[in-house]
Amino acid sequence: MLLKLTCLIPLYPLIGSIINGFFGLKIGKKAVGFIACGSMILSFLTSVLVYVGYLMLPEGQHVYEQVAWTWFGAGDFIVDFGFQIDPLTLVMMFVVTGVGSIIHVYAVGYMQEEFSYYRFFAYFNLFASAMLLLVMGNNFLLMFIGWEGVGCCSYFLIGYYFEKKSACDAGTKAFVVNRVGDFAFLLAVMYIFNVFGTIDFTDVMHAAPEKLIYGGEIVTIITMLLFVGATGKSAQIPLYTWLPDAMEGPTPVSALIHAATMVTAGVYMVVRCSVLFNLSPMTMTVVAFIGGGTAVMAATIGMTQFDIKRVLAYSTVSQIGYMFLACGVGAYTAAIFHLVTHAFFKACLFLGSGSVIHGIHGEQDMRKMGGLKKHMPVTYWTFVVSTLAIAGIFPLSGFFSKDEVLYHSLMDGNIIFWGMGVSAALLTAFYMFRLVFMTFHGESRVDPSVHPHESPKVMTMPLVILAGLATVGGLLGIPFHHWWHMHILHSWLEPVLHFDLASALQHSEHMLHQAGQHAPSWTHLLEPTEHQWWTELLLMCFSLAVAVVGIFGAYMFYIKRPDLPDKFTEGQWGLDMVQNKYYVDELYDDAFVQPTIEGSKLLWKECDAKAIDGTVNGTAKIIGWCSRQAQTLQSGFVRNYALFIVVGFISLLLVMF
Amino acid sequence: MLEETVPLSHYLMLSATLFVIGVAGVLIRRNVIVVFMSIEIMLNAVNISLISFDHYMNLSNGQIFSFMVMCVAAAEVSVGLAIIIAMHRNKPTVNLDDFNLLKW
Amino acid sequence: MELLIFYPVAGLCVALALGVIFNNSPVGSAISLIGMMLGLAAIFVLQQAHFIAILQIIIYAGAIMVLFMFVIMLLNLKQGDDKGWASRDQNLLLSVLTGFLTLGVLYKIAEVLFSVDMNTPATLPDTFGTVAVIGETLFTDFVLPFEVASILLLAAMVGAVVLAKNKLD
């Protein structure tokens, strides 16, 4: 019965958004902030209540579905507007509402002097509502609505400073690149409906092993299309170019949308469809490669950027690469674990950078920062804690999640994946601490007219909370199997990720035999794998060592001998390429954007101006010509008229008789 | 020969001839008054037709209708001639071709 | 006996009608028209429609044609004011066309008429066409058209007065 409150969870932020949007100007800044944060906190509390209700479900029932109403039905295609509560949903809900509330509170302080205060919070709440719809929907179409909704709100919020052309362009770029991914996602949903006749999650996942052949073309196509959609939303290769530009938006937007929630929607979707992905080993390999590759590539670019938010953006792309790497080798729990811990420390990092920017009055270039440690102690310490977490230092949360990803990439994957993961870890530690050292340590390169100051309490409290969560979040996934038989997150997500490979292979063999084809030998897949403890411990120590090496490197380069970076990169041929993000943006521009613009211009001049306008104007001209011919009938001569009367009368007679 | 009656068709033939002559007069003449008179010829032709049918079918409807036709003809002539007088005040001609201002 | 009366009178009517449209002077046309109407009155009498015949003479030849004469005199139309029956520009074309039109229509009508046998007249009572019978029918079956006709005449009267009035009042 507590579970009946499910439908309220996305409703609170939606109502908050509507109130703020329509009445924001009238009710004043304080009320707007109160309503926005209040609705998010209400959602969080309701999520807690729903969690309690879920725990009270009878044994054996793992999913609770609440159908609000039937949205539409067209023949056999019936779509409900329904919500689904299962372990995965609960994890995501907590992340979105919890971290979302904290960031809302921070934004109240950060956006205090901005114009259109109410517009920001209206869009922010709308985004939260759409994200909740995404994670709570019980069928693909509802998830797609949330998918589109968050993309839309991302566009609104990136282009929040709409008077800057770069902001508007960044918003458009984000939306268009997302659209490419969405198109693939929609194709996948259509294909799923074609194969299964339904798009409900529970129905599809139950029927999948019986309807799809393991490794067959259908499931590979479906999962590849789904994954392309995920790359669009989660900024992986090849659709990642929008995320660094999205830093044009205000910092709370970057923290919530581009660190904790929207970009993780792709990961959520892949984990939700884990059954489908498990049936297609080829897609899994692709996912792992793209995840690992993105992790390494984004880390290399992040090393050379000077804008503090860009570094964090590339770091996000890299960390999500980790999550996809985990998905690609089948370690979905590790992916979700990393998603949760990443939400904590990345949000803290972004909010911290926002605090820094706020403190030095808008400067974002790290070359003009330095020595801020003594001016902003709270910001500094929370920032350092989160950086240690992202670098993967024991006993912070990032250590456990990253380690789990690396372990599974070696054991369930192969050494290449592990190698990609380790290099990315090394680079992550390096550039994150480069960021810390350049911003907070050393000589102050800040503009003398600016007096850096610490941010107000409303901004530093969220930082402290998030840093605390980043510290203790690791408890969720400490592998206690060996000693206490308990890995909290793993056993929690077990009902969702459960996949019986043996029976799926049996079904596939059966289907192939029915089609008259020979089933390949799959016995090697059914070998049981044990969790090798000593290997894991060894890997833990190795990754710790790697992280320490990275930190030490950063220390050397930026504290001890600050001239080293310049000497090192002098004459390096690769630096130019890396610094310009491997010229990927320029490549896309030449390959896709310019041809589209030229094509549109051609269509405009030829088709629109000449053909369509010509037809319309031509019709008018023809009518004019006809009228001029008909004008001669009205001559003004009475006898002509009399003649016409008589002629008409006679022809009538002739016709009748 | 003295006992024969005129067949109906001959009466109708007369009516048709007079009607056609009236139409020709409307089309050919340029004098407004003469055009009016041609219209009167047409109305009379119709009267003949009505009366003939009455005679041959022993009805009285035709005669009543003929009476109405005469009534209407009287009204029409009076108003029409009043209009011609009014037009003559503007332009001292009765040539129908001179009244051609109502064109495009 | 009827035949002896009908054909000459009919021929006279046709000739006078042609005279109306082909006459140069409007007064001549008016006289021809009066003659034609009198001829038609004779034919009406032949058809035993006495009342209508008298009405024809009184209303048509007596009132309407007098009105015509009035207007002709008022407008002071002279002989030859209108240059004959020549049409606007395509003199020949219009005449030929009209000639064809009239002959064609006549032929068609003749064809229709003579193909049907309707030549047996019904027997008529003695009172056919008398004032009493017509009056009875008029005031019982057709009283509404009668009243409407009177209103029509009223309207026409008023209209004629208004239209022809001198505007200098």
SS3 letters across A301-346: HHCCCCEHHHHHHHHHHHHHHHHHHHHHCCCHHHHHHHHHHHHHHH
- If one compares A371 and A254, the residue with the highest pLDDT of the two is A254
Least confident of A182-191, A311-320, A481-490, B40-49: A481-490
Neighbour tally for C4: CB within 10 Å: 10
Residues with Cβ within 8 Å of residue A398, at least 6 apart in sequence: A341, A342, A345, A388, A389, A390, A391, A392, A470, A474
**AA identity, residue A104:** H
For residue C18, the model assigns a pLDDT of 93
Please give the mean pLDDT across all residues of chain C.
83
For residue B18, the model assigns a pLDDT of 94
For residue A480, the model assigns a pLDDT of 55
Least confident of A6-20, A472-486, A616-630: A472-486
Below-50 pLDDT ranges, chain B:
none
For residue A445, the model assigns a pLDDT of 74
Residue A482 has pLDDT above 60, yes or no: no
For residue C87, the model assigns a pLDDT of 47
**What is the mean pLDDT of the segment spanning A374-402?**
86
Neighbour tally for A414: CB within 10 Å: 13
Contacts with B31 from chain C: Cβ below 8 Å: 26, 77, 81-82
Q: Are C121 and B27 a contacting pair at CB < 8 A? A: no
Q: How far is the C-alpha of A554 from the C-alpha of A429, rounded, in Å?
A: 8
Cα-based distances in Å from C113 to A108, A406, A653, B55, C110? 103, 113, 15, 17, 5
Residue A166 has pLDDT above 90, yes or no: no
For residue A212, the model assigns a pLDDT of 77
Residue A437 has pLDDT above 60, yes or no: yes
Neighbour tally for C47: CB within 10 Å: 26
Q: CA-nearest residue of chain A to B30?
A: A639
Residue A488 has pLDDT above 90, yes or no: no
CATH code of C1-77, in short, is: 1.20.120.1200
- Positive/negative CA dihedral, A390, A393, A396, A398: positive
Q: pLDDT tens for residues C111-141? A: 877 776 666 666 677 777 788 888 888 899 8
User: A171 phi and psi, to 5 degrees?
Assistant: -60, -45
For residue A548, the model assigns a pLDDT of 86
Q: CA-nearest residue of chain C to A642?
A: C98
Who among B26, B30, B102 is closest to A636 (CB)?
Answer: B102
Q: CA-nearest residue of chain B to C64?
A: B74
Q: Are B27 and A635 a contacting pair at CB < 8 A? A: no
Cα-based distances in Å from A63 to A38, A44, A83, A315? 29, 20, 10, 35
**What is the mean pLDDT of the segment spanning A9-28?**
87
For residue A455, the model assigns a pLDDT of 79
Q: Which residue do the tokens 């407008």 mark?
A: C75
| Helix A281-302 × helix A415-440 angle, to 10° | 30
- Positive/negative CA dihedral, A534, A540, A546, A552: negative
Q: Are A657 and C88 a contacting pair at CB < 8 A? A: no
For residue A7, the model assigns a pLDDT of 83
For residue A569, the model assigns a pLDDT of 64
Q: How far is the C-alpha of A167 from the C-alpha of A249, rounded, in Å?
A: 7
Q: pLDDT tens for residues C61-99? A: 999 999 999 998 888 766 555 554 454 455 566 667 777
For residue A525, the model assigns a pLDDT of 67
Q: Name chain A's partners: 3 or more CB pairs within 8 A.
A: B, C
Q: Which residue do the tokens 């020709």 mark?
A: B24
Within an 8 Å CB–CB cutoff, is residue C135 touching chain B?
A: no
Q: pLDDT tens for residues A38-67? A: 999 999 999 998 888 888 877 777 778 888
Q: ipTM score here?
A: 0.88
For residue B38, the model assigns a pLDDT of 94
Q: Are B13 and C157 a contacting pair at CB < 8 A? A: no
Say if CB A332 and CB A325 are below 8 A apart. no
- Positive/negative CA dihedral, A118, A124, A127, A132: negative
For residue A370, the model assigns a pLDDT of 77
| Chain centroid offset of residue A230 CA | 8
Question: Is residue A363 left, alpha or beta, with left meaning phi > 0 and alpha meaning psi from -120 to 50?
Answer: beta
Residue C149 has pLDDT above 70, yes or no: yes
Please give the mean pLDDT across all residues of chain A.
83
**AA identity, residue A43:** S
Residue C142 has pLDDT above 80, yes or no: yes
Alpha helices in B1-104 (DSSP H): 8-28, 32-57, 61-90
- If one compares A499 and A305, the residue with the highest pLDDT of the two is A305
- Whole-model pTM? 0.70
Cα-based distances in Å from B39 to A343, A398, A455, B54, C69? 101, 111, 105, 23, 16
Residue A219 has pLDDT above 50, yes or no: yes
Q: Are C101 and A650 a contacting pair at CB < 8 A? A: yes
Q: Are B99 and A631 a contacting pair at CB < 8 A? A: no
For residue C117, the model assigns a pLDDT of 63
**What is the mean pLDDT of the segment spanning A113-124?**
84
Tokens of A272: 């939700």
Q: Are B85 and C142 a contacting pair at CB < 8 A? A: no
Contacts with A637 from chain B: Cβ below 8 Å: 96-97, 100
**What is the mean pLDDT of the segment spanning A562-581?**
66
For residue A79, the model assigns a pLDDT of 85
Least confident of A190-204, A579-593, B84-98: A579-593
CATH code of B7-92, in short, is: 1.10.287.3510
Which pLDDT band holds residue A127 (cuts at 50, 70, 90)?
Answer: very high
Q: Is the peptide bond before A238 cis (omega within 30 degrees of 0)?
A: yes
Q: Is the peptide bond before A281 cis (omega within 30 degrees of 0)?
A: no
Scan residues 602-641 of A and list those with Cβ closer than 8 Å to B. Answer: 631, 634-639
Q: Name chain C's partners: 3 or more CB pairs within 8 A.
A: A, B
Say if CB A341 and CB A449 are below 8 A apart. no
Who among B8, B40, B48 is closest to C43 (CB)?
Answer: B48
